[in-house]
Amino acid sequence: MTDLFAALLQLLGAGFMLIAALGLYRMPDLLTRMHATTKAGVLGAGLMLLGLLFLHPEVHTAVRVIAIVGFTVLTAPIAAHVIGRAGYFSGVALWEGTIKDELKGRYDSENHTLASSDDSTPESVATSKPEQEIVNP
Amino acid sequence: MERVIEFMHLATWLLLAAALGFAFYRLVKGPSLPDRVVALELLASLTVGVIAAYVLRSGKVVLLDVAMVLALTAFLAAVGFARYLEQGASQHD
């Protein structure tokens, strides 16, 4: 019975990993690809290691499995954040169907400061110069 | 019962192999360097899965150490690549 449960968990984990890889293969741009791989990949690896733990319930296995899963769960979001940030700043094109990019025009990638309101962005200053003088006083 | 478990192991290997193929496609084809880094990270995660599947079959629990080191180095590689990218290496992918 334990055999069956372990094999079932591993099959489920492998399925999630296949979903992650399919997302990486099919999704249109960097951020959507990352959204697929980070979550489903971590869940898949975690499920596969958990299945292993059911068949080998010794202490030294459990310690290693908990270490791997815990470390992956802790570091995968950090790695995804860092890569996404680097990709955004190095000018990787977003998908053409993207409807919202809230950093666009508000973030100064030279000195990494975020402008809080619309009228202080370089773009809207350039396009709506007359309104600027009415709003400011 | 035995045959069902055998079939599940085989299916696990097949799913992992297909996933490795898709991730490798993105690693080779990926239009930009960050795409390749994401593919590399998924490949490391898939390799942890492969090691888990192999340990389940063979009982060689020692190999879990390899998986642990692999998970560690994949994270370090991702952070290193990200730092390299932020220094303005977008032209050289």
SS3 of A4-46? HHHHHHHHHHHHHHHHHHHHHHHCCCHHHHHHHHHHHHHHHHH
Tell me which residues of chain A have a pLDDT lower than 50.
Answer: 120-121, 124-137
Confidence of residue B1 (pLDDT cuts 50, 70, 90): confident
Residue A18: per-residue pLDDT: 95
Domain boundaries in chain A? 2-89, 102-137
3-state helix, strand, coil in chain B (%, to 5): 85, 0, 15
Residue B31: per-residue pLDDT: 86
Residue A126: per-residue pLDDT: 45
Q: What is the pLDDT of residues A74-85, one digit of tens each?
A: 999 999 999 998
* Dmax (CA) of chain A: 76
Give contacts of B52 with chain A, Cβ < 8 Å.
Answer: 10, 13, 45, 48-49, 51-52
Confidence of residue B39 (pLDDT cuts 50, 70, 90): very high
- CA of A107 vs chain B CAs: smallest distance (Å): 15
- CA of A86 vs chain B CAs: smallest distance (Å): 5
- ipTM for the predicted complex: 0.88
Give contacts of B67 with chain A, Cβ < 8 Å.
Answer: 49, 64, 68
Number of Cβ pairs < 8 A linking chain A and chain B: 182
Phi, psi of B28 (to 5 degrees): -80, -45
Residue A115: per-residue pLDDT: 76
Q: Is A4 within 8 Å of B4 when comparing Cβ atoms?
A: yes
Q: What is the pLDDT of residues B7-37, one digit of tens each?
A: 999 999 999 999 999 999 999 987 888 999 9
Give contacts of A75 with chain B, Cβ < 8 Å.
Answer: 71, 75
Among A19, A90, A107, most B C-beta atoms within 10 A, so best to mutate, is: A90
The mean per-residue pLDDT over the stretch B63-87 comes to 91
Please choose, from the candidates A44, A2, A1, the residue with its C-alpha nearest in 3D space to the C-alpha of residue A19.
A44
Q: Is B12 within 8 Å of A11 when comparing Cβ atoms?
A: yes
**In terms of CA atoms, which chain A residue is nearest residue B19?**
A18
The mean per-residue pLDDT over the stretch B24-52 comes to 92
- Give percent above pLDDT 90 in chain B: 71
| Rounded (5°) CA angle B55-B60-B65 | 80
Residue A59 buriedness (CB in 10 A; 0-12 / 13-18 / 19+)? exposed
